[in-house]
Amino acid sequence: MSSAADEDSASDSVGRVVSELRRTRCARQFLRNSNHWLRAWDHREDLASFRYETDISEKNRQMLKRAKAGLEKFSSRLTLFALKFKKFKMKLSRREARMMKLLQGKQVFKSNRNLLRYNQVQSRIMQDYNQAVGCYAPGKCLDSGEDNVENFFRTKKDYDQLRYLWKSWRDATGAKFRNAFVERAQLLNESVWPS
């Protein structure tokens, strides 16, 4: 009788080891594929961003918006799939375990509509920041864009000009962005952080 129990125990142990090996192999394949496709989606977004920044047009803006939405949607799907591995014990290398943890800890939107809305709000904020103009004296304004304001603050020392520029930049961006930032925060709060 004890030999039958020992055989069952050994069989269960072998079954657990085989299942663990299969899950580990499946997780490694998932990580390889994820890495490949994330790079491809990231490259697509980088290209769209470069096109928009070098040729600001409605067509390029729409292309950038679609690329960002596609990357976010794909990334959310990866996170949901990675969460399936969380409850299992697997023998992954440190690098693989770190990649899996990063994928499992990413924020996921509850619906595609929220994800799309978040990307629209984020895109609008980016576009408005790039088009906002700050003046350092009455009638003396910088070219549009936050980077010009930052550069001015880095290179100039005149307190009155810096103060005037800060106020004009805040006037140009503050009230306009208030609603967008509130909506962005609400969308982020409605999203899911996997536990």
pLDDT per residue over 92-112, tens digit each?
778 777 777 777 666 667 677
Q: Could you tell me the pTM of the whole model?
A: 0.49
pLDDT at 52 over 80: yes
Residues of the chain above pLDDT 70, percent:
85
The answer to whether residues 31 and 97 belong to one domain is yes
Residue 83: DSSP 8-state: G
145 Rama class: left (phi>0) / alpha (psi -120 to 50) / beta: left
Quick one: pLDDT at residue 159? 92
Q: Tally the domains of the chain.
A: 2
Tokens 């050994």 correspond to: 10
The answer to whether residues 100 and 130 belong to one domain is no
User: Whole-number mean pLDDT of the chain?
Assistant: 79
Q: How many Cβ atoms are within 10 Å of 91's Cβ, its own excluded?
A: 12
* β 135-137/140-141 pair status: antiparallel
Q: Quote the domain boundaries for residue 59.
A: 1-106
Among 73, 106, 139, residue at a domain's last position: 106
- Which tens digit of pLDDT belongs to each residue from 55-72? 888 888 888 888 888 887
Tell me the angle at which helices 58-82 and 112-131 cross, rounded to the nearest 10 degrees: 140
At 137, is the secondary structure helix, strand, or coil? strand
Instruction: Tell me how far apart the alpha carbons of residues 20 and 70 are, in angstroms, rounded to a whole number.
Output: 33
**Which has more confidence, 11 or 147?**
147
At 146, is the secondary structure helix, strand, or coil? helix
Sorted by sequence, the CB contacts under 8 Å of residue 85 that are 6+ apart come out as 23, 26, 27, 30, 100, 104
Among 56, 74, 106, residue at a domain's last position: 106
User: Could you tell me which residues are beta bridge partners of residue 141?
Assistant: 135
Among 75, 106, 137, residue at a domain's last position: 106
Residue 146 Cα to chain centre, angstroms: 21
Cβ proximity of 173 and 132 under 8 Å: yes
